[in-house]
Amino acid sequence: MTQQTRRILQTISFLGLVVSVLPAFLVFGGVVSRQTHAHLMVAGMLMWFGTAIFWIRRDHLGQ
């Protein structure tokens, strides 16, 4: 995997985390509905899992 690909994947992953958590604060502020929040959380989840699996490495600590 090239450095650039890795950076793109990481960016999408972190955006996925933002999409997962930000709508909750928007629900709290009365900006979006709980239904929208739930949909966006699924979208954030797909963004995270679709990309993070490729760049997160496994460490070995004797487990």
Q: Is residue 31 part of the contact set for another protein (CB under 8 A)?
A: no
Q: Is residue 49 part of the contact set for another protein (CB under 8 A)?
A: yes
Q: Is residue 9 part of the contact set for another protein (CB under 8 A)?
A: no
Shortest distance, position 3 Cβ to another protein, whole Å: 19
The DSSP secondary structure of 2-60, one letter per residue, reads -HHHHHHHHHHHHHHHHHHHHHHHHHHTTSS-HHHHHHHHHHHHHHHHHHHHHHPPPP-
Q: Is residue 7 part of the contact set for another protein (CB under 8 A)?
A: no
Decide whether 1 or 57 has the Cβ nearer to another protein.
Answer: 57
